Amino acid sequence: MSIAKEFREFAVKGNVMDLAVGVVIGAAFGKIVSSLVADVVLPVFGTLLGGVDLTGLVIQLGAATLNYGKFIQTCLDFLIIAWAVFLVVKLINRLKREETQPAKAKAPPREELLLEEIRDLLKAR
């Protein structure tokens, strides 16, 4: 089997395509969450902290600067992304559980049970 044919079979497998779609959607989702944190969450925290812009927080060490405000923003990005992924996975797991659980059979009406008893009694005679 040629390398090109082998690669084509590998690349079009369902799992590889699903992974590629997941990576693209994940990158776009990451941008959305980063914007949420930078444009919505951090300004609120900054206001609560007395109008401080967290992304501008730095410590000057000679020629180097420690941008700990950006680090705080990145940590908040991570926490929000992790929380959102957790909720999505939890929702998917719940939907899968509902699909795999067999539907509970309803108890037959009382009249039906009585008719079955009568039928069984008549058979026994």
- Amino acid (1-letter code) at residue 123: K
Q: State the pTM of this model.
A: 0.50
How far apart CA 109 and CA 104 sit, in angstroms, is 15
Per-residue pLDDT tens over the stretch 106-116: 778 889 888 89
How far apart CA 1 and CA 73 sit, in angstroms, is 50
- Amino acid (1-letter code) at residue 8: R
Above 70 in pLDDT, residue 43?
Answer: yes
How far apart CA 116 and CA 40 sit, in angstroms, is 66
How far apart CA 37 and CA 25 sit, in angstroms, is 18
Per-residue pLDDT tens over the stretch 49-93: 777 667 778 899 889 989 888 888 788 778 877 887 788 889 888
pLDDT at 53: 67
Q: In CATH, what class is 3-124?
A: mainly alpha
Per-residue pLDDT tens over the stretch 4-34: 888 877 777 767 777 888 888 888 888 887 7
pLDDT at 103: 64
pLDDT at 119: 93
pLDDT at 14: 66
Sequence-separated contacts (24+) of 106-113 with Cβ below 8 Å:
none
pLDDT at 18: 79
